[in-house]
């Protein structure tokens, strides 16, 4: 068990012990039948516990139970005590937004002072993807507060904070967060537009439509730029460089930045010229695990240059420094949507040409999803058990000789994780009790809860959110705070 998991679990065990001692058992049990959300969390814990029976890797199953203790401890405490009023929730929300803002500033300082720090480590002690989920919820809270209180100074502050969080998401490369925000905005607009008066409804609709059109337009533009071949490929390919050395023109079809990566290549000249530009050996490994040669090859290709001595004459010192760091495309130096699109296009190109998934996050997810889905179909009713998900996934990855067999990845999808662990039986039990709690108590009448639920459920598609402590805490605190009956009053029409 990691240190963070141990101390978090210790905290909640002590809190539970205090809660049990002071608990009014008769009063709590009398309300238990109406506490559908608490029942749902208890069913979630019970399914994890019951599916330990027959599991082969009992030690991992027990570790998984320990890791998910907050899923039981927090709801038991929070859902059996008096709900927080709107006035009490306000400082909690303020503290949450402030904490996320402070951590983003910490990330900015680390970014400016540690230039070689991977973007995944900008925010310490939490996955950049989970931190992205918190930023999504923070943006929702800021927008909600601006509409709710309708004060000019609050509009300005919240607008500036929202702009900063968007910029920080780009720094984090948390592109999944942008997809989550866009889908959540569409869902909220469809579900709650009737509660907005005319002017706010028009503004909200126009904003979402503009973002959608902008996203579609940007996709077409970057797709055209990436795949539009340069003029040099519309003429007979020369057999040799200007120095008379033979070119290699590999016809594998791999395209990047409008150029065929493996055409106009003369490794001999690149190897000879490289020492004139850098002190690193030509065969050395860059900090991100790639060697100089393929990095230089792709960088020249990305600039639209021939991969020879003539092409290398156009490299500037900043380009050499980027290549030494393992940056293989000049577009990757940027922090913006172009980089996101170009990374996705290059991942697709590698899969199209070589069926390669190594080092490509999106394609790795597809490989893991296929693997988990195949295993689920082998155990559709009751799954493989709480403790055997990781072992079963790795076993099959080795059987199919997947390049991901030596990694610690397993499902990268919370739905598949539950289906594989508990089968349809356990999955439908969990789904039924949570859906029942949400529907019977009409939690989705409140926009904040609906937004949180959208963020959470969409994150389940690309991440196994409940398999990390940060994801567990995000989930359980969102449910137990935003479910508050005090926040379930019928939404009022928001006037301009």
Q: Is the confidence at residue 252, as pLDDT, over 70? A: yes
Task: Write down the pLDDT at residue 138.
Answer: 94
| Segment holding 260, helix H or strand E | strand 259-260
The span from the CA of 122 to the CA of 106, in Å, is 8
The span from the CA of 241 to the CA of 306, in Å, is 9
Task: Write down the pLDDT at residue 29.
Answer: 53
Per-residue pLDDT tens digits for 300-347: 999 999 999 999 999 999 999 999 988 999 998 877 788 889 988 998
Q: Is the confidence at residue 494, as pLDDT, over 70? A: no
Q: Which residue has the tokens 């509009």?
A: 155
The span from the CA of 420 to the CA of 379, in Å, is 7
Tokens of residue 356, six digits? 């390669």
Contacts of 91 (CB under 8 A, 6+ apart): none
Q: Is the confidence at residue 147, as pLDDT, over 80? A: no
| Segment holding 259, helix H or strand E | strand 259-260
Task: Write down the pLDDT at residue 20.
Answer: 56
The span from the CA of 399 to the CA of 163, in Å, is 47
Closest CA to 488 of 95, 54, 37, 26: 37
Closest CA to 165 of 212, 102, 246: 102
Per-residue pLDDT tens digits for 35-85: 889 999 999 999 999 999 878 888 888 888 888 888 888 888 888 877 777
Task: Write down the pLDDT at residue 496.
Answer: 40
Across the chain, mean pLDDT equals 85
| 3 vs 388 pLDDT, higher one | 388
Mean pLDDT of the 116-128 span: 84
Q: Is the confidence at residue 8, as pLDDT, over 70? A: no
Mean pLDDT of the 225-246 span: 86
Task: Write down the pLDDT at residue 18.
Answer: 56
Work out whether the CA dihedral 341, 345, 351, 352 comes out positive or negative: positive
Give the count of beta carbons closer than 10 Å to the beta carbon of residue 402: 21
Closest CA to 373 of 400, 355, 337, 344: 400
Please give the share of the chain, as a percent, with pLDDT higher than 90.
Answer: 40
Mean pLDDT of the 126-152 span: 87
Under DSSP, the state recorded for 484 is -
Q: Is the confidence at residue 299, as pLDDT, over 90? A: yes
Q: Is the confidence at residue 423, as pLDDT, over 90? A: yes
The span from the CA of 324 to the CA of 290, in Å, is 10
Q: Is the confidence at residue 488, as pLDDT, over 70? A: no
Mean pLDDT of the 362-372 span: 87
Q: Is the confidence at residue 495, as pLDDT, over 80? A: no
Band of residue 4 on the pLDDT scale cut at 50, 70, 90: low
Q: Is the confidence at residue 174, as pLDDT, over 90? A: no
The span from the CA of 203 to the CA of 200, in Å, is 5
Q: DSSP string of 117-158?
A: S-GGGSSTTS-HHHHHHHHHHHHHHHHHHHHHH--HHHHHHH
Work out whether the CA dihedral 444, 446, 448, 449 comes out positive or negative: negative
Collapsed DSSP state (helix, strand, coil) of residue 238: coil
Least confident of 92-96, 209-213, 266-270, 489-493: 489-493
Residue 485 and residue 170 in contact, taking contact as beta carbons nearer than 8 Å = no
The span from the CA of 362 to the CA of 364, in Å, is 5
């Amino acid at each position: 068990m990691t240190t963070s998991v141990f101390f978090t679990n210790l905290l909640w065990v002590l809190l539970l012990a205090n809660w049990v001692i002071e608990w009014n058992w008769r009063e709590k049990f009398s309300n238990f039948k109406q506490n559908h959300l608490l029942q749902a969390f208890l069913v979630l814990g019970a399914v994890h516990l019951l599916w330990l029976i027959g599991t082969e890797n009992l030690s991992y199953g027990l570790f998984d139970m320990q890791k998910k203790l907050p899923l039981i401890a927090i709801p038991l405490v929070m859902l059996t005590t008096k709900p927080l009023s709107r006035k009490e929730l306000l400082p909690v929300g303020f503290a949450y937004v402030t904490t996320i803002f402070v951590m983003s500033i910490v990330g900015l300082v680390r970014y400016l002072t540690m230039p070689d720090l991977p973007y995944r480590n900008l925010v310490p002690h939490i996955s950049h993807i989970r931190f992205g989920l918190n930023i999504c919820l923070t943006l929702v809270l800021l927008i909600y507060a601006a509409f709710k209180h309708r004060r000019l100074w609050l509009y300005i502050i919240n607008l500036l904070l929202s702009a900063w969080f968007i910029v920080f998401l780009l720094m984090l490369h948390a592109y999944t967060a942008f997809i989550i925000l866009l889908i959540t905005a569409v869902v909220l607009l469809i579900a709650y537009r009737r509660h907005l008066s005319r002017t706010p409804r028009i503004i909200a609709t126009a904003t979402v439509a503009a973002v959608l059109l902008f996203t579609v337009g940007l996709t077409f533009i970057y797709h055209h730029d990436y795949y539009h071949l340069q003029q040099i490929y519309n003429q007979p390919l020369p057999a040799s460089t200007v120095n008379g050395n033979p070119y290699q023109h590999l016809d594998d079809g791999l395209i990047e930045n409008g150029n065929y990566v493996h055409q106009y290549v003369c490794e001999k000249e690149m190897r000879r010229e490289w020492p004139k530009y850098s002190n690193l050996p030509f065969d050395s490994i860059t900090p991100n695990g790639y060697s100089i040669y393929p990095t230089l090859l792709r960088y020249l290709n990305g600039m639209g240059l021939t991969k020879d001595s003539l092409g290398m004459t156009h490299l500037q010192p900043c380009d050499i420094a980027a290549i030494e760091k393992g940056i293989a495309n000049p577009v990757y130096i940027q922090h913006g949507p172009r980089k996101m699109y170009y990374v996705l296009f290059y991942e697709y190109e590698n899969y199209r040409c070589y069926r390669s998934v190594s080092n490509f996050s999106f394609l790795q997810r597809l490989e893991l999803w296929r693997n988990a889905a195949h295993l689920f179909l082998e155990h559709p009713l009751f799954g493989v058990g709480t403790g055997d998900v990781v072992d079963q996934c790795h076993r099959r990855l080795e059987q199919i000789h997947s390049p991901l067999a030596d990694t610690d990845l397993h499902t990268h999808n919370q739905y598949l994780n539950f289906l594989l662990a508990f089968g349809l039986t356990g999955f439908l039990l969990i789904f039924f009790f949570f859906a029942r709690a949400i529907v019977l108590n009409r939690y989705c009448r409140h926009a904040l809860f609906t937004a949180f639920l959208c963020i959470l459920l969409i994150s389940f598609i690309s991440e196994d959110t409940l398999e990390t402590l940060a994801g567990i805490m995000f989930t359980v605190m969102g449910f137990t705070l935003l479910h508050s009956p005090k926040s379930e009053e019928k939404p009022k029409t928001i006037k301009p």
